[in-house]
Structure 1
Amino acid sequence: MDKIRTSCLINNYNYAEFVSEAIDSALNQTVKFDEIIIIDDASTDNSVEVIAKFAQLDNVKCIFQETNQGQLSSFNEGFLAATGEIIFFLDADDIYQPQYLENALKFYSRRTECDFIFCAYKKFGAVEGIFQTDAVDLDLGYSVIRTLYNGEWIGSITSTLSIRREILRKILPIPNIEDWRVRSDDCLVWGASLVGAKKFYMSKPLVMYRIHQNNQYHNNKFLHIDKNYEYKRFWKRNSLFNYILKKNNLSLPLLLAFTSLNELKTIPCPKFQDFISYLKIIFLFEHILYWKIKGIILLFSYFIKILMSGKLNK
């Protein structure tokens, strides 16, 4: 089996008290990263001093941005500097469990069609607990149509994400960095779906997600108080979608009665909610009445088939 080259991108802004722990967790994997790229987004604390101590290591590269531009800018710069076939993302206040990379690489090697993995994680710090999408590993299939029409977000927090380079190059770099100073994982999660990534979920909680008073998003009171935030995010999402579609010469799928069903069939063991999602798409967005009815009938027939076969994921 050929070795898969890996890159770990650690983005940091004013997390001097945490960043060394994040870097150590990437360095101390049971299977080593080929390169670790640390991007500091013009921190005003002593982050640069902390990060610089790691610069002498052979597999570590440090990028110090001169002006603070937000998380998406760090993703852009890190990706442009990376050489790995699979790119792993880590926020500077989070931690990898020692066997995270080893488990992820086994997953990619076993499922060669896999383009994108997100895994379960453990919260620690101010809040503790395990967050799992499901108790078992999942093949989530393709999600182009679900993302385009329903805006579905099939993924997880930044530090649980890894993506094949061939998928990321269709997404990054993204120029509208001001829109995504925070919540830049939206760009990765939505973008990967739009360009046709086959997504998988890994049920082992191999990432530690730190909850603390300075979380850039989790504890950003402005985002939670601002009633217009989701409205603004909707328009930023539309702009992002338009950029990615144009960049990759993609167009909206036609005949949703068939394309929706074909996409659903890429999920080996779909959940009831998956059927509801595609039913919603056909009902709302298929404008020709004949194909709307045809699509609903086809979807219902497939649901009965999956139910009778015992493949419905409950």
Structure 2
Amino acid sequence: MKEDAVSIPHESASADLSSNLTAEPHGSGTPKLAVIVTCWNYAEYVIDAIDSVLKQGRKDCELVVIDDGSTDNSWVEISRTGVRAYRIDNAGQRLACLRGLQETTAPFILFLDADDELLPGAFNEILSRLDEGVAKLQFPLLRMDAQRTVISGPIPPLADFRGRELVEEVLKTGSYTSPPTSGNVFRRDVCQLIEGADYERAVDGVILFVAPFMGDVISLSKPLGLYRVHDRNDSGFGEELNPVPLQREAERFVDRLEHLRRLLNEKGLGSGLVTADRAYFHQERSFYLAIAKSARVGLRQFLFLLSLLWTYPYSAKVKLSMTVFFLLTFVLSSERAKRLVHYRLQAHSRSALGLIKALFRR
């Protein structure tokens, strides 16, 4: 694989701070946490991501940036920071993250998207809670717009806990409420499992759901990062409801669930894992996919979706609001149903008023 590497001093805020982190593969002392920033064509954002790590001021952490074959000015911007970075041929986030794992040694890993940031003090909060019994630590993110203005509260809302109570939820549903990529810290052995996930390009897949079986999950209610919402977020839905990403999500869920089943078979737990056709997420995406294709959803499929919703570990308030949403999309005309689903799937704050506006927009 063709690549470039860089560690160039630079008279900028980033360069002034880069000595606060281990800038070489092994550095001085023993690193406790590695942050791997993966970038593809985010020249306008990647410096903010890097600076948010450098400003944590922890010498016991590693930082490496992997440029995934960007075709914009990303590599030039990254090269100016003085941090350790590698440029590889475009291969997708998963393989870029694997390269980052090869270039770091810390026992815990945070994959930071190049358009996201960490909040001040995030490392102190994270490192104070990590030990060898932890498989994953998660925290909410605040949404911000392209200009770094915060536009929402913590997403998703999380409760504080430590333990393995998510095991039963994963077995029953195949998933659980988890933050976007940048809101997760994984133990290194959990991260290594993405090597076998050759069915997808992203990194936030099977390792999210196998983690509760490999150790404790720590959940924090305090937001420690910023999730940037802009016109190039990888939702793939565009201006209109697009069936292609919905089909991709449904297929990815099936592949991920079977991968998870193989991993759990090694622990004697695979037979207890839900099948895709009885998983709420898969039925929900299948419902949206039918709407996107202007296909009629049968009453039996619709009622089955509602039954799965009401057994899913949402709050009663969320279950009720989702029931109303599903009922509307089921009875409305195809075009209006598409508008509602499209609104729900966008990476922005949602409200009843916003839903009504989406329903009646021309």
Q: Please, what TM-score do these two structures have when normalized by structure 2? A: 0.60
Q: 2:118 aligns with which of 91, 96, 102?
A: 96
Per-residue CA deviation, residues 73-124 of structure 1 (Å, 9 max, x unaligned), is 1121111222001111200000111200111111226xx6332111011101
> Considering only aligned residues, what root-mean-square deviation do their CA atoms show, in Å?
3.1
Q: 2:181 aligns with which of 140, 158, 175?
A: 158
The CA distance in 2 between the partners of 1:25 and 1:76, in whole Å, is 22
State the partner residue of 2:225: 207
- CA 50–220 in structure 1, closer or farther in 2 if over 3 Å, else same: farther
State the partner residue of 1:190: 209
| % same residue | 27
The CA distance in 1 between the partners of 2:129 and 2:139, in whole Å, is 11
Structure 1 residues 135-150: aligned runs within 5 Å:
136-150=159-173
* Equivalent residue letter for 1:160: G
What SS does the aligned partner of 2:225 have? strand
Work out whether 1:221 is the aligned partner of 2:244. no
Per-residue CA deviation, residues 11-55 of structure 1 (Å, 9 max, x unaligned), is 11000110011001111104345210111111110111111223x
* Equivalent residue letter for 1:119: F
The CA distance in 2 between the partners of 1:63 and 1:12, in whole Å, is 10
What SS does the aligned partner of 1:216 have? coil
Gap regions ≥5 residues in structure 1: 257-275, 279-314
The CA distance in 1 between the partners of 2:197 and 2:256, in whole Å, is 14
Q: 1:23 aligns with which of 41, 45, 50?
A: 50
What SS does the aligned partner of 2:94 have? helix
The CA distance in 1 between the partners of 2:262 and 2:78, in whole Å, is 34
The CA distance in 2 between the partners of 1:192 and 1:155, in whole Å, is 12
Q: Please, what TM-score do these two structures have when normalized by structure 1? A: 0.68
Per-residue CA deviation, residues 254-307 of structure 1 (Å, 9 max, x unaligned), is 789xxxxxxxxxxxxxxxxxxx569xxxxxxxxxxxxxxxxxxxxxxxxxxxxx
Alpha-carbon distance, 1:69 to partner: 1.4
The CA distance in 2 between the partners of 1:164 and 1:151, in whole Å, is 21
The CA distance in 1 between the partners of 2:197 and 2:238, in whole Å, is 27
Per-residue CA deviation, residues 143-175 of structure 1 (Å, 9 max, x unaligned), is 344324421134211111111223333x13235
Work out whether 1:122 is the aligned partner of 2:142. yes
Alpha-carbon distance, 1:133 to partner: 4.4
- CA 113–215 in structure 1, closer or farther in 2 if over 3 Å, else same: same
The structure, 1 or 2, with the larger RCO (C-alpha pairs under 8 Å, 6+ apart) is 1
